[in-house]
Amino acid sequence: MKTLLVTGASGFLGWNICQRAKSNWTIFGTVYSHSAKNSGVALVKIDLTIFSDLKNLFKETRPDAVIHAAAQSEPNLCQENRDTSYRINTEVAINIARFCSDLEIPCLFISSDLVFDGLNPPYSEEDEPSPLNVYGEHKLMAEIGMKNQ
């Protein structure tokens, strides 16, 4: 069975991804600030912002694919802690994309509708992003940075 690495496995989306995928994949799910119980999933507590730990995670789990759902997703907290938001929401995503590129494995990134200003919905991938807050800015920066890996 192939191995799937799911970051943010304690979040709503990450937890549900693990549940849906575990019948077809060996799942490693990352957790950090929130604990989780997810039977059939090997949970790994890790601070994804520590580059060496992230690198070791890839070496130890040897994923065949990655779904990156981890984020600091509270816009107000991101606004107040710009440096932390950037590390979690941008740098980590770019590092994960780089590892996936090096290993030639697929990487799915969970971004946010907050990369748009909300004035002209519904949006498509071709629409021009225009974030109104730090969280949206950092998610957009992650999208751009990941495409360049």
pLDDT at residue 37 in the model: 72
The 10 Å Cβ neighbour count of residue 58 is 18
Topology at the third CATH level for domain 3-147: Rossmann fold (3.40.50)
The tens digit of pLDDT for each residue in 100-140 reads 999 999 999 999 999 999 999 999 989 999 999 999 999 99
Give the residue carrying structure tokens 């799942």. Answer: 27
In the prediction, which pLDDT does 145 show? 97
Q: Which residue has the tokens 């999208």?
A: 143
Q: Are 18 and 9 in contact (CB under 8 A)?
A: yes
Q: What's the pTM value of the predicted model, to 2 decimals?
A: 0.95
The helix-helix angle for 134-147 and 92-103 (nearest 10°) equals: 20
Question: Mean pLDDT in runs of 10 for the chain (149 residues)?
Answer: 97 95 96 78 96 98 98 96 98 98 98 96 94 98 95
